Amino acid sequence: MRLLLVEDDERVAAALVAVLGRHGFQVRHARSGHEALDALVPDGNDPYRVVLLDLGLPDRDGFEVCSRIRAGSGVPVIMVTARADIRSRIHGLNLGADDYVTKPYDMGELLARIHAVARRGAQPSSVAVPAPDAVPQQRGPLESRGIRIDRERRRVSVDGRDVPLTRKEFDLLALLAQSPGVVYRREQIFSEVWRSGWEGNGRTLEVHIGSLRNKLALPGLVEAVRGVGYRLIPDSPASPATDRTPASPAEH
Amino acid sequence: MRLLLVEDDERVAAALVAVLGRHGFQVRHARSGHEALDALVPDGNDPYRVVLLDLGLPDRDGFEVCSRIRAGSGVPVIMVTARADIRSRIHGLNLGADDYVTKPYDMGELLARIHAVARRGAQPSSVAVPAPDAVPQQRGPLESRGIRIDRERRRVSVDGRDVPLTRKEFDLLALLAQSPGVVYRREQIFSEVWRSGWEGNGRTLEVHIGSLRNKLALPGLVEAVRGVGYRLIPDSPASPATDRTPASPAEH
DNA sequence: AGCCGATCTGAGCGGAACTTGAGGATCACG
DNA sequence: CGTGATCCTCAAGTTCCGCTCAGATCGGCT
């Protein structure tokens, strides 16, 4: 899970990077608002799932950055700042921030809040946002084609029968089921299901896909897209033009 | 914009209804968790855009309600409570709340936060929402599988026999028993049972789980979920909501 | 201080989960 | 129809993770 940290104090940043890393985040550190905005330009990598924006920078600047971010992207933003006054809080939230945390904060609570906004996921709000890779992270149990995926219980059932899955199998299915029909590229799958940048050398992904198919016993559900990745076939094939991939076809 | 207010204090509720009304919200007031869950059953009206959940009710009860809501629906939930301690905050957020506001709060900030979560909104989702009556509302001391957990007295009994537990063991059990069936991740357990941000370096968690299992002497109760964490196995309601399949008696 | 239970740490074990490799099947494309 | 690339399956390794035990440390109480 990628996270963008905007923080000018190196010591604070280093500490946060360490802790967040230990909790499974792949952190990119931006030292300034400018750098942050650059980092948010879609580049084919996975999009950031959340932005941690410190307002410790040259006073008002942070608000400016938040509003710029919000103008161009739907990525969730958490403001972190020493400014505890009500006016700033309200102002920050109204600029489009998803949460506003004041220092000193408890690390556990910050983590919980990060998870809260991350699971809410990026949804291109009203604005027409150039965020093609934005994954509509859906909450509550997923259900489609008789498969019920209960994320918090890590349980999967097909037509009422419980299907025990291993960790990788479950994560894989949960990822693909987020957007049935959409093709997930191999690198994308690896970075979501396998932590840290790890390129699957061997046949790892195929094997897990294989055992997932076996256990679900729903032929045709998990489809391989040659040279790209995998996807789930949705039940109501509302003209899935098959080109409905998040990847721009231009890139090879 | 419809909003569901869960609050048992009539005076507080009346004030909130007035203010929220003035700000363009159509407020439905539920006096109890049960009423709230009823109100959330899809009925053809517009779905609620946000739930304001007061935890002032009988102690721990509010957390239950939040977890029940989240089990069946993706509607954004803001917890409003006087409980300011870190444990409660983290727990509330981990249960799926989108925000956690402590009293006394500033009305302007609350409004800003309501707008923040409503902005993200949960898509009404084509997903079937399981009927909440499938989930029995559980009050007072937790009880399941013959285990009785009295949170106030910190007493646990199995089939009537008192089982003395240490602090950590009790906290651990109480946490897991909050929502039998759901998987609690290691980090989550650490941040709620231990002081926040604590990294379990050694085999601490396993040891405590071990002694808890020994003392309860109920094999299969506490289940390890490899690579993720632990959960309690509920006695019967494994997946009751999936019975909604009228025709599929192929075999069994 | 001294005791005693509670908590934490480290090593070893066993088994589940994951990875890898090779061979066969299938597909896209000329 | 041939060919190379890609995907699937099977059957080994190999790693990882949770369990247990035993000893060390912590902390409250008399």
Looking at every residue in chain A, the average pLDDT score rounds to 82
Task: Pick out the nucleotide with least CA–C1' distance to B227.
Answer: D17
pLDDT confidence tier of residue B85, bands split at 50, 70 and 90: confident
Give the residue from B208, B15, B3, B25 showing the smallest Cα distance to B103.
B15
Q: Does residue A248 contact residue A196 with C-beta atoms inside 8 Å?
A: no
The Cα–Cα gap between A189 and A186 comes to 5
Distance A224 CA to C27 C1' (A): 11
Characterise A194 by phi-psi region: left (phi > 0), alpha (psi -120 to 50), beta (else): beta
pLDDT at res. A138: 61
Winning range, highest mean pLDDT, from A62-76, A129-143, A202-216, B114-128: A202-216
Q: Please compute the mean of the pLDDT values over residues A94-121 and round it to a whole number.
A: 90
Helix (H, G, I), strand (E, B) or coil at A122: coil
Confidence check: pLDDT of A201 > 80: no
Cβ separation of B243 and A160 shorter than 8 Å? yes
Protein CA at A207 to nucleotide C1' at D7, angstroms:
10
pLDDT at residue A202 in the model = 77
User: How close B87 gets to chain A, by Cα (Å)?
Assistant: 9
CB contact under 8 A, A94 and B108: no
Q: Protein B230 CA to nucleic acid D25 C1', in Å?
A: 27
The per-residue pLDDT for A132 is 32
Nucleotide nearest to B211 (CA to C1'): D20
**CA-wise closest residue to B180 among B60, B93, B38, B68:** B68
* Residue A110 C-alpha, separation from nearest chain B C-alpha, in angstroms: 9
CB contact at 8 A, B101 and B76: no
pLDDT for residue A247: 41
Closest by Cβ to A143, choosing from B117, B128, B225: B128
Q: What is the pLDDT of residues B135-185, one digit of tens each?
A: 333 445 667 778 999 988 899 999 889 999 999 999 999 999 988 999 999
Confidence label for B240 from pLDDT (cuts 50, 70 and 90):
very low
pLDDT recorded at residue A236: 62
pLDDT band (50, 70, 90) for residue A240: very low
Identify all chain A residues contacting B96, using CB atoms and an 8 Å cutoff. Answer: 119, 139, 152
B210 touches strand D (CB under 7 A): yes
* Most confident listed range (A60-74, A95-109, A140-154, A161-175): A161-175
Mean pLDDT of chain B: 83
- Find all residues with CB under 8 Å of B48, minimum gap 6, and list them: B2, B3, B4, B28, B39, B40, B75
- How many A-B residue pairs are in contact by the CB < 8 A criterion? 132
Residue A192: predicted pLDDT: 87
Distance from CA of A251 to the nearest CA of B (A): 31
In the numeric block, which tokens belong to residue A95?
């600029």
Q: What is the mean pLDDT of residues B204-211?
A: 97
With a 7 Å cutoff on the CB, does B168 touch strand D? Answer: no
- Find the Å distance, CA of residue B237 to C1' of nucleotide D2: 58
Share of chain B above pLDDT 70, in %: 81
Contact B120 A120 (CB under 8 A): yes
Judged by CB atoms closer than 8 Å, whether chains meet at B228 and A167 is answered as: yes
Give the strand pairing for B161-163 and B155-158: antiparallel
CB contact under 8 A, A90 and B99: no
Report the gap between the CA of B247 and the closest CA in chain A (Å).
Answer: 10
Pairing of strands A50-54, A77-81: parallel
CB-CB neighbors (< 8 A) of B122 in chain A: 139
Of B97, B197, B242, the CB nearest to A108: B197
Asked if the Cβ–Cβ distance from A107 to B181 is below 8 Å, we say no
> pLDDT value at position B196?
67
